[in-house]
Amino acid sequence: MKSSGKKTGDEKTGAGQQPQVAPAPEAAHPAQKTQPKAGETQKSTAKTAARKRRPRKHPAAASDSATEKKVVRNGGTADPVVQLSPSVSNEQASRQRQSTTQLLATTDANLKQLAARQLDGTQQDSVSQIRKYMEQAKTAEGAGDVQRAQNLASKALLLSDDLVKH
């Protein structure tokens, strides 16, 4: 075969050889950033870049003793227990104890009257609440909280009076 000056299509690519294709620009350099598209503005890319550059705020150092937190486990503290109650003289406390005893005795008498009657469910619930108030009053008086004891005893009396009337 004689070779003329013209090359055929097979001769250009080399017979039996496959044409080589250049890799796509994205695959050749995947780490490079792409340029903003024609529709995007420089302002929008600047905003995203600014958001990425903000430094993280770190919590204050633990060396600052004024803001140091103290962990208290199981409700214990080193502070002494302080009872918040108005100061009551011994004479007032004695009168309150007598009043509480009288209130509880009257309430007990009312409960004895109620025992003879047939009570419905709500009335029986009221009787059990009266008994709880009486127990709490006795406990408070034993603990030295005479004001709370008197308050609970008067609640018990009011409930028992209401049940006796109805």
Give the domain ranges of the chain: 90-165
Q: For residue 148, what pLDDT is reported?
A: 93
pLDDT tens per residue, the chain (166 residues)? 455 555 555 555 455 555 565 555 555 455 555 555 555 555 555 555 556 666 667 655 545 556 787 777 776 666 666 555 567 788 888 899 999 999 999 999 999 998 888 888 999 999 999 999 999 999 999 988 899 999 999 999 999 999 998 8
> 90-165 maps to which CATH number?
1.20.1270
Task: Report the distance separating Cα 166 and Cα 120, nearest Å.
Answer: 12
Residue 138's Cβ-count burial label (10 Å; 0-12, 13-18, 19+) is middle
- Please identify which residue in the block is written with the tokens 């059990």: 128
Q: Is the pTM of this model over 0.85?
A: no
